[in-house]
C-alpha cells in the first residue's frame, strides 16, 4: 500500500476538493439557462476521455489483453452499464462499436481518425516532427474537427496529463509557461510529486495520444516554446479540476490520461488501488484506467459545465488482436440527455458505430456539418451517428 504521507500537490488538492473521489454526489443546481425554455437540449460542453488498447468483448480464444466487459479489474466501468453506479439514468452505451477500419493500427492512426475521419495514411506511432523539426506524421490539411470548430468560433482544448507541470512536484505550471506538447515525456517526479489518481511518482505523456498536435493549423508549427500562438489550446490534465471549478473549460474538451492511467501501461511496481491485491501486467493496465475513470468522471459531473447539458464520452482507441466485428470497443456516453433506461438498465445500442460515428456526431452537435456549410470529414459522411444513445433532440 502507498503511504499517503507525502505532501499533496495543488492538482491533487483541487481534485479532492472538487468531488468525493470514486463516488457520485448529487447537488441541487438552481442556475437557469434560457435554452432549456426553448427545449434546446443540444450539448453545451463535450468531454471526450480517451482510453487505450482494450476490447469491450472479444472471442473466448483471446485472453490477453483481457476484455473490459465483466472484468473484475474494471468495477467502475462495468458499474456504468450494469445499473449499479447510481447514475444509470445518465448512461447509454454501445455493444457494437468497432475499429475505425481494418488494419487501422496502432494508436496514432485512430487519434488522427478522431479528428479527420481517416488516418491520412499514417500507420505508426511517430511523433508529429523529428527532433530536428522536419515533419514526420504531421498533416497540413485543415479538414479536421478542431479546425472546423475554430472557424465556427467554437472553443476546443486538449488536456494531456503530465504536460506543462513542475516535474518535481506535479503542480501545473503558470499558464504563461504552457507550451504545445509535440514530443513524448516520461520519468519520475521528485520532491514529493504524486499522480493525483494513482498516487505513484511516474509520469508518461505520449504525443501519439494527442490528436490536435498532428495538424499544423492547430499545433502552431514545430515550436515548443512559449511563443507558440496556440499553446493555450493545450493544458495539463492536472489543470482540469481548476478549470471546472472556475467554469472555464472549452466547448470541446479532449482529455487524455497519461499512459499509466489510460490502460496502456502498468506502473513499474504494479498497482493495488481499490481492487485490493497488487496487479501487474495487463491486470494493472485495466485497474489503473478504471481507477482513473472512477475519479475523473465524478469530477466532471460535479461541474456546471456538465450539469448544463454537458456530455462525457468514454472512448477507446482501437481493438486488440482483431478487426472483425466480434472484437468490439468499449464506448459509452454520460449525459442528462442519454437514452432512457430499458427495464431499469442503461440503454445498450446494437447499432454499428465507430470513430467515424463519433466524429459525425461532433460535427452535428457543434454545427460544423453540411447543414452549416462544412463538409463531412472522411468516414463521417457515411457513418451512423450516435443519436441512438440520446433522447430525441439530444444531438441536434
Over the stretch 337-379, which tens digit does the pLDDT of each residue have?
A: 999 999 999 999 999 999 999 999 999 999 999 999 999 999 9
In the chain, the largest separation of any two C-alpha atoms, in whole Å, equals 58
Asked whether residue 197 carries a pLDDT value surpassing 80, the answer given is yes
pLDDT at 20: 40
Return the sign of the alpha-carbon dihedral for residues 97, 101, 105, 109. negative
Q: Is residue 9 part of a domain?
A: no
The pLDDT of residue 29 is above 70: no
Residue 18 phi, psi dihedral angles, 5° rounding: -75, -30
Burial 73-102 (b: 16+ CB within 10 A, else e): bbbbbbbbbebebebbebbbbbebbbbbbe
**124-133, 215-224, 269-278: lowest mean pLDDT where?**
269-278
Segments forming the whole domain that contains residue 159: 45-89+112-389
Residue 353 pairs in a beta bridge with 97
Q: What is the pLDDT of residue 15?
A: 53
Task: Report yes or no on 21 lying in a domain.
Answer: no
Residue 27: inside a domain: no
Q: How big, in percent rounded to 5, are the helix, strand and coil portions of the chain?
A: 30, 15, 55
User: CA 52 to CA 396: how far, in whole Å?
Assistant: 29
Q: What is the pLDDT of residue 36?
A: 54
Q: What percent of the chain has pLDDT over 70?
A: 88
With a CB cutoff of 8 Å and minimum separation 6, the contacts of 225 are: 179
Burial class (CB within 10 angstroms; exposed 0-12, middle 13-18, buried 19+) of 319 = buried
Which of 20 and 92 is assigned the larger pLDDT?
92
Helix 282-301 and helix 10-18: axis angle, to 10°?
Answer: 60
Handedness of CA 36, 338, 48, 239 (dihedral sign): positive
Q: How far apart are CA 354 and CA 94, in angstroms?
A: 10
**Would you say residue 269 lies in a domain?**
yes
Mean pLDDT, residues 115-141 taken together: 99
Q: CATH number, domain at 330?
A: 3.40.720
Give the pLDDT band of residue 269 (cuts 50, 70, 90). confident
What share of the chain in percent tops pLDDT 90?
A: 83
**Domain-embedded: residue 58:** yes
Residue 15 resides in a domain: no
Residue 1 has pLDDT above 50, yes or no: no
User: 322: Cβ–Cβ under 8 A, 6 or more apart, which residues?
Assistant: 58, 59, 62
User: Hey, which bits of 10-124 come out as E strands?
Assistant: 45-51, 91-94
pLDDT value of residue 395: 87
Task: Give the tens place of pLDDT for each residue, 73-122.
Answer: 999 999 999 999 999 999 999 999 999 999 999 999 999 999 999 999 99
Q: Are 90 and 355 in contact (CB under 8 A)?
A: no
pTM over 0.85: yes
Summarize pLDDT for 46-69 with one digit per residue, the tens. Answer: 999 999 999 999 999 998 899 999
Cα separations in angstroms, 292 against 32, 36, 152, 265, 362: 31, 32, 33, 13, 24
| pLDDT (0 to 100) of residue 348 | 98
Average pLDDT over residues 274-281: 68
pLDDT at 156 over 60: yes
- Does a structural domain hold residue 149? yes
- What's residue 8's pLDDT? 40
pLDDT of residue 201: 95
In 3D, which of 390, 394, 364, 363 has the Cα closest to residue 148? 363
CB atoms within 10 A of CB 162: 27
Residue range 118-129: mean pLDDT, rounded: 99
Mean pLDDT of the chain: 91
Distance CA(241)–CA(252), nearest Å, equals: 16
Rounded Cα–Cα distance for residues 44 and 24 (Å): 21
The values of phi and psi at residue 272, to 5°, are -95, -70
d(CA 40, CA 37): 8
- In this predicted structure, what is the pLDDT of residue 116? 99
In this predicted model, what pLDDT tens digit does every residue of 278-334 receive, in sequence order?
678 898 999 999 999 999 999 999 999 999 999 999 999 999 999 999 999 999 999
Backbone angles phi, psi at 102, to 5 degrees: -65, 125
Q: Structurally, how many domains does the chain consist of?
A: 1
pLDDT tens, residue by residue, 176-188: 999 999 999 999 9
Whether 185 is covered by a domain: the verdict is yes
Amino acid at each position: 500500500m502507498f503511504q499517503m504521507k507525502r505532501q499533496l500537490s495543488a492538482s491533487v488538492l483541487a481534485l479532492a476538493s472538487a468531488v468525493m473521489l470514486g463516488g457520485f454526489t448529487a447537488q441541487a443546481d438552481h442556475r437557469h439557462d434560457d435554452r432549456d425554455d426553448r427545449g434546446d437540449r443540444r450539448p453545451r460542453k463535450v468531454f471526450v476521455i480517451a482510453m487505450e488498447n482494450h476490447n469491450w468483448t472479444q472471442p473466448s480464444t483471446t485472453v490477453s489483453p483481457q476484455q473490459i466487459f465483466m472484468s473484475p479489474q474494471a468495477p467502475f466501468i462495468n458499474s456504468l452499464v450494469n445499473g449499479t453506479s447510481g447514475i444509470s439514468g445518465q448512461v447509454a452505451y454501445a455493444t457494437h462499436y468497432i475499429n475505425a477500419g481494418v488494419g487501422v493500427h496502432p494508436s496514432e492512426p485512430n487519434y488522427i481518425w478522431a479528428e479527420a475521419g481517416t488516418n491520412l495514411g499514417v500507420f505508426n506511432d511517430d511523433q508529429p516532427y523529428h527532433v530536428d523539426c522536419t515533419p514526420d506524421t504531421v498533416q497540413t490539411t485543415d479538414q479536421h474537427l478542431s479546425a472546423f470548430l475554430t472557424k465556427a468560433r467554437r472553443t476546443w482544448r486538449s488536456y494531456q496529463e503530465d504536460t506543462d507541470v513542475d516535474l518535481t512536484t506535479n503542480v501545473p505550471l503558470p499558464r504563461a509557461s504552457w507550451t504545445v506538447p509535440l514530443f513524448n515525456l516520461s520519468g519520475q517526479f521528485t520532491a514529493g510529486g504524486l499522480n493525483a489518481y494513482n498516487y505513484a511518482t511516474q509520469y508518461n505523456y505520449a504525443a501519439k495520444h494527442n490528436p490536435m498536435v498532428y495538424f499544423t493549423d492547430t499545433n502552431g508549427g514545430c515550436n515548443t516554446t512559449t511563443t507558440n500562438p496556440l499553446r493555450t489550446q493545450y493544458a495539463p490534465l492536472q489543470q482540469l479540476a481548476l478549470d471546472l471549478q472556475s467554469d472555464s473549460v472549452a466547448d470541446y474538451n479532449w482529455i487524455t490520461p497519461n499512459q499509466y492511467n489510460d490502460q496502456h501501461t502498468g506502473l513499474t511496481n504494479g498497482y493495488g488501488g481499490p481492487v485490493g491485491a497488487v496487479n501487474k501486467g495487463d491486470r494493472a493496465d485495466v485497474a489503473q484506467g478504471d481507477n482513473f475513470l472512477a475519479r475523473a468522471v465524478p469530477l466532471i459531473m460535479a461541474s456546471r459545465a456538465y450539469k448544463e447539458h454537458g456530455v462525457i464520452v468514454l472512448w477507446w482507441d482501437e481493438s486488440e488482436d482483431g478487426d472483425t466485428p466480434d472484437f468490439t470497443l468499449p464506448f459509452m456516453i454520460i449525459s442528462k440527455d442519454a437514452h432512457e433506461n430499458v427495464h431499469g438498465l442503461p440503454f445498450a445500442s446494437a447499432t454499428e458505430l465507430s470513430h467515424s460515428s463519433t466524429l459525425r456526431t461532433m460535427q452535428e452537435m457543434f454545427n460544423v456539418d453540411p447543414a452549416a456549410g462544412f463538409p463531412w470529414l472522411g468516414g463521417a459522411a457515411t457513418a451512423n451517428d450516435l443519436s441512438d444513445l440520446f433522447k430525441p433532440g439530444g444531438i441536434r
